[in-house]
Structure 1
């Protein structure tokens, strides 16, 4: 398995929508990812295996020193093989290169080990308002 990782890699909306459906277990949506990313993102990382999109992470930011990762997703047939942590590492590298000082992430409890152990995030106090 050779996976290639690319910062701000090219993709088409259909492929990213299909990856999200596969990785998150929901029906395929019709999200215009290109428009969303161009408007809100510092960048993103695409993971490809033989040309097929098998992983993705979005890096949004405040235009200053804070970056946030969203939508970390890996195709089901590649989960548990280090693709997700490599995506996050590439995202952190590029956020650092853009002079960001902090990389934030929110996640569901079952992903604690992934983000804390595999990716190196530290636990912090944070707040959330459900809208």
Structure 2
């Protein structure tokens, strides 16, 4: 297995129920730190430091990534972080541009939502920050403004 596809969870298992195009496989684990950083950059997201990936990925509540089976290269990822009981945050959903439009992002979010349905306690809050319109609504996500507003700050600004 290439370093690019090696996940942070040694007990990796594959999902057979999520439909993906031939030549792709969804794995229930996060990608390697190198693949995590590459996928974020390739998808136009802010890069994260190696240290951030090394510290953050093992603290994932549930994560998936998709590999191109011929090369074992990670081409997509998505994960849930949170406290495991009352709050779950979908984050780091990214698909490499050459593979976009093939259902990879949909398969990954399907897997996250299926996991939440089985594991999140009743009344838990699930949120996400999206930079695309019209993608997450199919799973029931709705804008929360004006009732609530997302706020943020980067550590260099603290």
Same fold (TM over 0.5): yes
Q: Which has the higher strand share?
A: 1
| Rounded Cα–Cα distance in structure 2 between residues aligned with 1:47 and 1:73 | 10
Structure 1 unmatched runs, 5+:
none
Q: CA deviation at 1:113?
A: 0.8
- 1:49 — aligned with what? 68
Q: CA deviation at 1:35?
A: 2.2
Unaligned runs of 5+ residues in structure 2 are 1-20, 154-158
Per-residue CA distance 1:20-69 (angstroms, 9 max, x = gap): 11112666853542421223x21211111112101101201223133110
- SS state at 2:50 partner: coil
- TM-score with structure 2 setting the length: 0.67
1:103 Cα deviation from its structure 2 partner:
2.6
| Matching residue of 2:38 | 18
Q: How far, CA to CA, are the matches of 1:27 and 1:72 in structure 2?
A: 13
Residue 59 (str. 1) matches residue 80 (str. 2): yes
Which structure has greater helix proportion?
Answer: 1
Shift of 1:15: 1.8
Give the deviation of 1:18 after TM superposition. Answer: 1.3
In the alignment, what sits opposite 1:79?
100
Contact 1:17 1:31 in 2 (8 A): no
> Are 1:35 and 2:55 matched, yes or no?
yes
Aligned Cα root-mean-square deviation (Å): 2.4
Q: In 2, distance between residues paired with 1:106 and 1:18?
A: 20
Conserved? CA contact 1:7–1:94, under 8 Å: no
* Number of aligned positions between the proteins: 126
Q: d(CA) in 2 for partners of 1:7 and 1:93? A: 12
Bigger radius of gyration among the two: 2
